[in-house]
Amino acid sequence: MQSLPIILASRSPRRIALLHEIGLPFEVCPSNAEESNAQGDSPRAIAIHAAQLKADEVAQRQASRLVLGADTIVCLGERVLGKPRDRSEARDMLRALRGRWHTVVTGLCLIAAGETPWTAAETTRVHISDFSDEEMERYIATDEPLDKAGAYAIQGSAVRFVEEIDGDYHNVVGLPLALLLRGLSRFISVEGITVPPPPDRFRNPPA
């Protein structure tokens, strides 16, 4: 098994914070892959392909290391909501999500030299409250939505808009830790590494 820190093929502050939280040794090497090239016949397939593209690009530069690629997408029915380009697009996304369930899918890919790549994906359902236009505008004014898929961050001030979730909380943040540890166990020892509990309000599954 590999002993060097893993390489995270992402500069995402959320993924970096989650890996720090579980105490996993890692280094950051952002991928130059164009995730918009990801293809698939389902959100799960698209997320996995995007994660593969990211991991593969970095693995070509870090051939002796274990590389983690990840990609999170937000889906409302058949519509995929990426990162809004501006406040107007963030407003459109938040209006579409308001008062409805949607899904968050994160694809993972682990690549190590001489090993078969490991891929998987986690899906979580999220219900957004029927917030007011005034609440939405105050949130948009913070610019927090602008670098978030679906124009919100469950770990940020938008948590007040999230009524309940069905599935993995950390997946909605951007990295499904339990699934990741299962994948990592194929390449490195993860003994002693545990997944932190979600915030109290998200610990009980919806009725």
User: pLDDT by residue (tens digit) across 26-66?
Assistant: 999 999 998 777 888 899 999 999 999 999 999 999 988 99
User: pLDDT by residue (tens digit) across 90-122?
Assistant: 999 999 999 999 999 999 999 998 899 999 999
Q: What percent of the chain has pLDDT over 90?
A: 83
| Per-residue CA distances from 127 to 46, 98, 138, 152, 166 (Å) | 22, 8, 20, 12, 9
Q: Using CA atoms, how far apart are residues 38 and 30, in angstroms rounded to an integer?
A: 17
Helix axis angle, 87-97 to 133-141, nearest 10° = 140
Phi, psi of 69 (to 5 degrees): -115, 145
Spot the catalytic one: 56, 71, 147, 166: 71
User: pLDDT by residue (tens digit) across 171-196?
Assistant: 999 999 999 999 999 999 999 999 99
What is the model's pLDDT at position 202?
Answer: 87
pLDDT category at 24 given cuts 50, 70, 90 is very high
For 6-193, CATH gives 3.90.950.10
139, 87 in Cβ contact below 8 A? no
Q: Using CA atoms, how far apart are residues 76 and 161, in angstroms rounded to an integer?
A: 16
- Is 41 considered catalytic here? no
Domain-wise residue ranges, the chain = 6-193
